Structure 1
Amino acid sequence: MNLSQIKKHAIAHKLTDSHDEWLRQRNKGLGGSDAGAVLGLNPYKSAYTLWAEKTGLIDSHIPDNEAMRVGRDLEQYVAERFTEATGLKVQKSGYSFQSKEHPWMLGNVDRLIVGENAGLECKTANALTHTDYEGGDIPPSYYAQCYHYMAVTGADAWYIAILVMGKGFHWFRIERDEDEIQALVEAEKEFWSKVQTKEAPDPDGSDSTSETLAKLYPESFDEEVELDYMEDTLQEREALEAKIKDLTAQKKELDAQLKEEMKTAQKGVCGLYSISWKTQKRTSFDKESYRADHPDEYTDYLTTTTTRPFVVRKRKGARA
């Protein structure tokens, strides 16, 4: 794949050495790594969190960590392993790409395939990954990223190479699928319009969204809002709580039956299942006794944290 092929579909921007500048450019649109979050396929970042980042409501910068460092440092190694495994030569482009048809679609690709209208995405994965790469599985967010790059560059296919640390190396070829690409483009278009209008997408129940809401609204003020229009939501929540309570009681009953059968045994086995009921001892600090014995010193070690407990209950005497 060469630049002349890509330039039929995208504008090429020379890559900068400044990480801060790269981050600023990245927030001007949606990159390949954003595609999974837009579709709700990224287990670490929700569409709501991505929206808050792109609108500047929260900082999108992630402090560098060891996993990120390893991924960057091993990118060249993964590319070399790919060439070794496939015989296909790869090269860096030196550019980031911006779709001409959809200017908010950006692409900073890892490698281009020499002599083929295709590119390569390089990945590293933890040895404890649950993805069955040997069985041909690829995380859905990786698929979305590759289709995003095909949409931006006009590529016929995209390869992905994954190094599972200390365990194995795998590579796959993803063919261009116009229906998949069009669906992704429409989803990203709708999402980007929400970024421009600052209209938040519907929040989901992920940890990512919960953490983002805590960042956006860390403190409460002495005011009250009317939420009459959300009565259906509250009734649905109440029904779910009742189901959870009932299911929890059923689970506890089954646990009790198993414990009765195990008695003093610390391990139980049954076909596909193993059960552990092992005696454990834990040493904890008796802070109440310490406070009673050392009242002056105790206050020197107190710290204050800010939280916002979320509690829903029925009001006494309230009428529907």
Structure 2
Amino acid sequence: MQAITLVSTKDMDHGEWLKWRQKGIGGSDAAAIAGLNPWKSPISVYLDKIGQGEEVEDNERMRVGRDLEDYVATRFEEATGLKVRKRNAILAHSENEFMFANVDRLVVGEKEGLECKTTNSYSRKDWEDDNIPAHYEIQCHHYMAVTGYKAWWIACLIGNEKFVYKKIERDEEIINYLIKIEKDFWENHIVPKIIPAPDGSEDAGNLIKMMYPNSTPDSFIDLEDDYINHIDRRAEIAEMIKKLELEKSQIEQVIQVGMGDFETAIIRDKKVTWKTINSNRFDSKEFKKDYPDLYDQYVNTSSYRRFQIK
């Protein structure tokens, strides 16, 4: 193995492990930096590494994932005839020591590793045929980059009803790309503490709101001329969205006219429903007018920042 052993994790508690994670880029961080993690943005990775990220509370789903790791590894051994063992250590790339790997298993007698996953039934399609979720594939290539190994297996228990396993062969082009972007991220963002550009994800939006929750009343800033390009592009996109929303509504109206009073329509392999939905809504305006004192007792004041361009 080409990797450097930084520290043993055999008797390490969760708090200490989290502190070690801040000292380098791990496998789950790699996909976020590459823009391929559906739940985590580059900004989130940045805040974690500089010690300003939100503390993630341990939950039942995470506990189940940890407990089932042994089961997934055992099923993998049964299915393949290969033997695996734990590597209770945080490993680092021999040249780029900010690249970390905390691997699930290593295959005995081979330069191969194993990543164990659990997911719910809704993710079944992500694993059909030869498919592997992109962020997991990037994670495995990150581990190959750190260890120098030639392949990585990934095994997944889907909704406690299906077990799959697949092999990812080492791809030098992907590995060189990961080393490049992770080095750039570490040296140009983490070390100098310069926040990366937002990527438009929901995660990035939530983090930005967390970082700047309140505006200073009557404050003003004159931004650089470069921002006018963003303003103009946003206006173009808004106009495109408006036209597409109109076209979408037109298509829906054509189908609705075709359905008439029918609740369900079958169009080849598609099922279209247009159901009558009854709902009850609380009339807060009328309640406030009739019972103003009682209304005031139950009003909760909240604040948020409204973003507008005029």
Equivalence map 1:143-182=2 (5 Å): 143-182=137-176
Equivalence map 1:86-235=2 (5 Å): 86-193=80-187, 194-221=189-216, 222-227=218-223, 228-235=225-232
Q: Structure 1 stretch 252-261 or stretch 280-289: which is displaced more? A: 252-261
Conserved 8 A contact 1:131-1:139:
no
CA distance in 1 between counterparts of 2:83 and 2:3 reads 23
Alignment of 1:33 with 2:23, yes or no, is no
Q: Give per-residue Cα distances to partners, 1:220-277, cap 9 Å, x unaligned.
A: 1131112333111111111111111122122222222222221211112211322211
| Count of aligned residue pairs for this structure pair | 306
Superposition deviation, residue 43 in structure 1: 0.4
* Uncovered stretches (5+) of structure 1, i.e. residues with no partner: 1-5, 314-320
Superposition deviation, residue 186 in structure 1: 0.7
Q: Give per-residue Cα distances to partners, 1:16-63, cap 9 Å, x unaligned.
A: 43111100000110011111101111000011221122223332x211
- Percent identity over the alignment? 41
Superposition deviation, residue 117 in structure 1: 1.5
TM-score, normalising length from structure 2?
0.94
Alignment of 1:237 with 2:206, yes or no, is no
- Matched with 2:277 is 280
CA distance in 2 between counterparts of 1:134 and 1:259 reads 34
* Equivalent position SS for 2:247: helix
Superposition deviation, residue 77 in structure 1: 0.3
Conserved 8 A contact 2:6-2:91:
yes
The alignment yields a C-alpha RMSD, in angstroms, of: 1.5
CA distance in 2 between counterparts of 1:44 and 1:281 reads 34
Conserved 8 A contact 1:134-1:170:
no
CA distance in 1 between counterparts of 2:43 and 2:286 reads 45
* Equivalent position SS for 2:121: coil
Superposition deviation, residue 218 in structure 1: 0.6
TM-score, normalising length from structure 1?
0.91
Specify the code of the residue in structure 2 equivalent to 1:128. Y
* Equivalent position SS for 1:268: strand
Alignment of 1:64 with 2:58, yes or no, is yes
Conserved 8 A contact 1:31-1:108:
yes
- Matched with 1:318 is none
Specify the code of the residue in structure 1 equivalent to 2:282. F
* Equivalent position SS for 1:280: coil
Conserved 8 A contact 2:287-2:295:
yes
CA distance in 2 between counterparts of 1:251 and 1:196 reads 46
* Equivalent position SS for 1:197: coil
